[in-house]
Amino acid sequence: MFTQQPLREPREPATMLRISKLIACWIVVAALFTSADAADTQSSVLVYGAASLTNVLDEIGTNYTHETGQAIKFSYGSSSALAKQIEAGAKAAIFFSADSEWMDYLEHRGAIDNNSRRNLLGNELVLVAPTESKVQLKIASRFALAAVLGSGRLAIGDPDSVPAGKYARAALTTLGVWNDVADKLVRADNVRTALTFVDRAEVPLGIVYETDALVDSKVRIVDRFPANTHAPIVYPVALTGSATPAAAKFIAYLHGTTAQIVYKKYGFTILP
């Protein structure tokens, strides 16, 4: 009597087995290289920037990513707060400050690459009011700022730490009106917050950079402060101790002609 034996799965020839293993190895190696390339491209460069640079750096960063595929991330705030975060170990690769003092602060602590430091931009200080405000005021020695404020308040960056606020205090002191308004201040944590108080008509007047006023349709410039009433407004930029080769490439782009077109678009002065 014939008994049917159970079917057995055919054995894979040794050659086929070796080929399969080789193909699997190639796939793993290719995946590793692809992953490494993707990580190199997608690993973002973190830039700490003064709040007044928000719009201009956002546009430059978008342009750079479109051109190169390199992701750029920004964290904005008062230069003082950002500098202290970097001192405390924040992994920002680039610091773009609104004044020299806070860049000096990090330089003295060995937190930036001194060779990469450069004064890149300039700005102006302006007095602003809500767009619908009828306030007319000419900035001059002993001008009637306190009288125009009345029971209202003046929004500025905190003059004890925020660069825009320090410039504002210096200008008002030079003009002889600081003591008249020192108790009428809204001290903002950065210049964009001061701008927001005016934008929302929560205060009748504020002091911000000209570039801030130009990007907000809900405020208007009442007058500009004479340049000789305060120290020059300078924006230095530098690599930090956490900088990577990708950060060095982006800071070079920040210095280039393509970025300069965007700076000018937003009203910044390009320093020589």
139 and 215 in one domain?
A: yes
Can you tell me the mean pLDDT for 161-188? 98
Between 42 and 266, the more confident residue is 266
Q: Please indicate, yes or no, whether residues 188 and 256 belong to a single structural domain of this protein.
A: no
pLDDT at residue 11, rounded to an integer: 47
Q: Do 131 and 214 reside in the same domain of the chain?
A: yes
Q: Looking at the structure, do residues 110 and 134 belong to the same domain, yes or no? A: no
Residue whose tokens read 């460069």: 45
Q: Are residues 46 and 179 in the same domain?
A: no
- Percent of the chain topping pLDDT 70: 85
Task: Please check whether residue 248 lies inside any domain of the structure.
Answer: yes
- Enter the tokens of residue 154: 């003046």
Across all residues in the chain, what is the average pLDDT?
Answer: 89
Which domain range does residue 94 map to?
41-121+235-270
Which residue, chain included where needed, has tokens 């393509």? 258
206 contacts 155 by C-beta, under 8 angstroms: yes
C-alpha torsion 177→178→181→186, nearest 10: 140
96-124 b/e (C-beta count within 10 Å ≥ 16 → b): bbbbbbbbebbbeeebbbeebbeebbebb
Checking if the pLDDT of 37 tops 80, the result is no
Length of the chain: 272
Structure-block tokens of residue 169: 């205090």
Q: Are residues 202 and 255 in the same domain?
A: no
* Residue 183 · residue 145 · CB < 8 Å: no
Handedness of CA 241, 242, 245, 250 (dihedral sign): negative
CATH number of the domain to which 208 belongs: 3.40.190.10
Please state the φ and ψ torsions of residue 178, each to the nearest 5 degrees: -60, -50
pLDDT band for position 104 (cuts 50, 70, 90): very high
Can you give the pLDDT at residue 256?
97
Angle, helix 245-255 to helix 257-265, in steps of 10 degrees: 60
Percent of the chain exceeding pLDDT 90 equals 84
